Amino acid sequence: MKQIVFLLTLILASVACNHSPEELILKNIRQLEANNSLATSDTLISSYLSFVHQFPHHPYAIKFMFKAAEANVKAKRNLEGAKIYEALANQYKDSSLAAEALIRAGFNFQILNEFNNQKRVFKQFLIQYPKHDRVNDIKMSLDMLNYTPAQQDSIMLERINGNN
């Protein structure tokens, strides 16, 4: 029995030695992602962020950072999600996900009634992505911050009814 345990330990050690730390974290992330009940778990989020921290230039880093933010938002941790979205947009400005990350950060700040942060992030979006498809939406959101909630409701009803 001791020989079997020793042999299994030796096999596992040799297998582990053949994998880079990057591959081991990726394998761990895949296993965690396979379990739907862990979709918003701290373990999965920490694994994503650990990978990004250790391998910031890896092609998966941006995707994992975005997923970490999404998972936080799904877990009702909007502030953490917004901060990660914003960090992604600032760290990976040239990424195709950067603009979307700023938009999501802004709307999460709105949910939290952190309107100064929402303004700041949306203004950054307009400066960095002036030709983005969602520019008009962001401008409208910024404009709405100048009105009381009752005025916002009235404006939205007018827009819905086609009375721009």
- Residues 69-127 have pLDDT tens digits of 999 999 999 999 999 999 999 999 999 999 999 999 999 999 999 999 999 999 999 99
Pair of tokens at residue 13: 């050690």
Pair of tokens at residue 91: 């760290």
Query: What is the pLDDT, as a whole number, of residue 163?
Result: 64
Query: What is the pLDDT, as a whole number, of residue 36?
Result: 86
CA 116 to chain centre: 20
Specify burial of residue 155 (Cβ count, 10 A radius: 0-12, 13-18, 19+).
middle
Whether 3 shows a pLDDT value over 60: the answer reads: no
The owner of tokens 């990350």 is 101
Distance, in Å, from the CA atom of 118 to the CA atom of 106, rounded to the nearest integer, reads: 4
Nearest Cα neighbor of 65 from 123, 117, 119, 105 is 105
Specify burial of residue 121 (Cβ count, 10 A radius: 0-12, 13-18, 19+).
buried
Average pLDDT over residues 137-159: 80
Average pLDDT over residues 26-55: 92
Residues 126-147 have pLDDT tens digits of 999 999 999 999 999 998 887 6
Average pLDDT over residues 15-25: 75
Domain topology for 2-160: 1.25.40
Average pLDDT over residues 49-54: 96
Query: What is the pLDDT, as a whole number, of residue 21?
Result: 86
Domains of the chain: which residue ranges? 2-160
28: Cα within 13 Å, side-chain hemisphere: 18
Percent over 90 (pLDDT), the chain: 68
Among 34-38, 73-77, 146-150, which range has the highest average pLDDT? 73-77
Average pLDDT over residues 151-161: 76
Query: What is the pLDDT, as a whole number, of residue 136?
Result: 95
